[in-house]
Amino acid sequence: MAGLTTDRERLVGYADPWSVAPGETVAFMVRCTEARYLASIVQLIHGDTRPHAPGLKERPVPSDIDGEYPGTAWPYPAGSHVIVRADL
């Protein structure tokens, strides 16, 4: 897709809704420019990857979503997203 300039933009997704209670349903919306992608759920223990920080720590959470899926490059028009600097 025209305009893609970084590896980060090859895979974009979000959960809907953002938060659920045990037993509730959550949908994952994924946009991927590759032919296929792998999906799994992890519990994020720590995500600070700055120097002298503990780094990325995650724990796998087995789920029905684990697997490989076809990538679909859904368009997202200008103004429908935001990019946040990682150093904030």
* 24 domain residue, yes or no: yes
Higher pLDDT, 86 or 52: 52
Q: How many domains does the chain have?
A: 1
Host domain of residue 38: 11-70
Q: What is the pTM of this model?
A: 0.63
The answer to whether 11 and 38 have CB atoms below 8 angstroms apart is: no
- Confidence category of residue 88, pLDDT binned at 50, 70, 90: low
Look at residue 1 and tell me if it is in a domain. Answer: no
In-domain check, residue 60: yes
Does residue 14 sit in helix, strand or coil?
strand
Q: Would you state the torsion angle of the CA atoms of residues 56, 62, 63, 66, taken in this order, to the nearest 10 degrees? A: 70
pLDDT tens for each residue of 69-82: 999 887 766 676 67
Over the stretch 22-69, which tens digit does the pLDDT of each residue have? 899 999 988 888 899 999 999 999 988 899 999 999 999 999 999 999
In a domain, 45, yes or no: yes
